[in-house]
Amino acid sequence: MPGKGPEPSFEFVQLLTSHQSRLYAYVLSLLGDRTQAEDVMQETNAVLWRKAHDFKLGTNFGAWMLKIAYFQVMAHRRRLTRDRLVFDDDFLRDMAEDAEQQSEWQVEKQRRLGDCIGKLTQRYQELIRRRYTEGATLKSIAAQCGQSENSTKQALYRARAALIECVKVQRPEEAV
C-alpha cells in the first residue's frame, strides 16, 4: 500500500491497549449513548493508530489520547446535527474537561489501590486476587485453602477493611 507509514512501536501498542477502558468511559461520558460511543471509540483508535508516529514515548499518553477522542466526538456531533437534541459546543467542552479530570482521578485512585494491595499480607493479596481478579466464589476459595467458607469470608472482610484504611490514610479528605 503506497504511503503507508511505519508500524507503531510495541510500547505504543501496549499504551493503546491498556487505555481502552479509560477511552471508552471518556467517550461514553460525552455522548451518553453506548452505540455512538463504540463507533467514536473505533474512529478514535484508527486516528491514534495513524498518528502513532506523532506521539513521543515518555509523555502523557492519556492526555494525548483524550484530546484526540474529544476531537472525534466533536466531528461525530457535527455529523449528527440533524438530530433534534444536540448540546452546544461550550456545554460539551465543559463536560469533556470534567470527564478528563474524572478519568485522571480514577487512574490515581487505581494507582493508590494498587499501592495498598501491595502493602497487604501475602495471604490477603491472594484472597483479593482470587475473589476480584479471577472472580472466584467464597466457596471455591475456601475449598482451595482448606478452610471453612465463614473463615474465608472473615479473612476477605479483614483484607477489604485494611485496604479501606490504607486508602483513607493516603487521602483522608476523600473518605471511601
Rounded to an integer, what distance in angstroms lies between the CA atom of residue 151 and that of residue 119?
22
Query: What value does the mean pLDDT of the chain take?
Result: 85
Domain with CATH 1.10.10 in the chain: 120-176
pLDDT tens sequence across 86-130: 566 777 788 888 888 888 878 888 888 889 999 999 999 999 888
Class of domain 120-176: mainly alpha
pLDDT tens sequence across 30-76: 888 899 999 999 999 999 999 998 888 888 898 899 999 999 998 89
Q: Which residue has the cell 504511503?
A: 3
In terms of Cα–Cα distance, which of 73, 52, 76, 74 is closest to 64?
Answer: 52
Cell of 76: 461525530
157 pLDDT band, cuts 50/70/90, is very high
Rounded to an integer, what distance in angstroms lies between the CA atom of residue 124 and that of residue 157?
10
In terms of Cα–Cα distance, which of 4, 30, 170 is closest to 97?
Answer: 30
pLDDT tens sequence across 66-90: 999 999 998 898 887 665 555 667 7
Given CA atoms 95, 98, 102, 108 in this order, what sign does their dihedral have? positive
Cell of 150: 465463614
Class of domain 1-108: mainly alpha
Rounded to an integer, what distance in angstroms lies between the CA atom of residue 140 and that of residue 120?
22
Q: Is the pTM of this model over 0.85?
A: no
